[in-house]
Amino acid sequence: VISNKPEARGLALAETASVATRIVNHRDFADRHSFEAALTAALGEAGVDLVCLAGFMRLLSADFVERWRNRLINIHPSLLPAFKGLHVHQRVIEAGVRITGCTVHFVGPEMDDGPIIVQAAVPVAVDDEPEGLAARVREAEHRCYRLALRLIAEGRVAVAGERVLIDGGTAPTGLLVNPADD
């Protein structure tokens, strides 16, 4: 586990599981290029094949993203391409959206962009507050991230242009309607 924040919870979890950790603190570098060079070196030294971002709230340069094309994944708390950026749950509620969710995707050069691997839909309640909605979306994020990692590890994920193809993957049947159509 490599983190740009010394206090990241993932470092402690990794250490508990006897997984090697390293800190590459972005604040120790004069610019993004220097930070990304150090990050690239750390990833190379660790023999990394797939970079899995989690809680990484920094934009990566197009050069870094290109170097790791289709080997760099992230998760976002909305059904991309909707609601890119920050303060997603507040914006979802303010927009009157009835269904939100989360997206695991390969990282593209633009913010919250790239081929989509897995998505989950989460209903928005009429009385939702950002914190409650965020908690329900987080549950979906945990499930989707594990699924995306498993699909990739099993060699079932291929990228064709800007679309992800999943060998043996099928879409669920059924309809999610909000408000419920009883």
Residues annotated as catalytic are 76
Query: What is the C-alpha to C-alpha distance for residues 131 and 38, in angstroms, rounded to an integer?
Result: 35
Burial 130-165 (b: 16+ CB within 10 A, else e): eeebbebbeebbeebbeebbebbeeeebeeeeeebe
Query: What is the C-alpha to C-alpha distance for residues 104 and 175, in angstroms, rounded to an integer?
Result: 21
- Contact, 80 vs 101, CB < 8 A? no
Tokens 């586990």 correspond to what residue?
A: 1
- Contact, 105 vs 116, CB < 8 A? yes
- Contact, 92 vs 110, CB < 8 A? no
Burial 82-100 (b: 16+ CB within 10 A, else e): bbeeeebbebbbeeebeeb
Query: What is the C-alpha to C-alpha distance for residues 152 and 158, in angstroms, rounded to an integer?
Result: 9
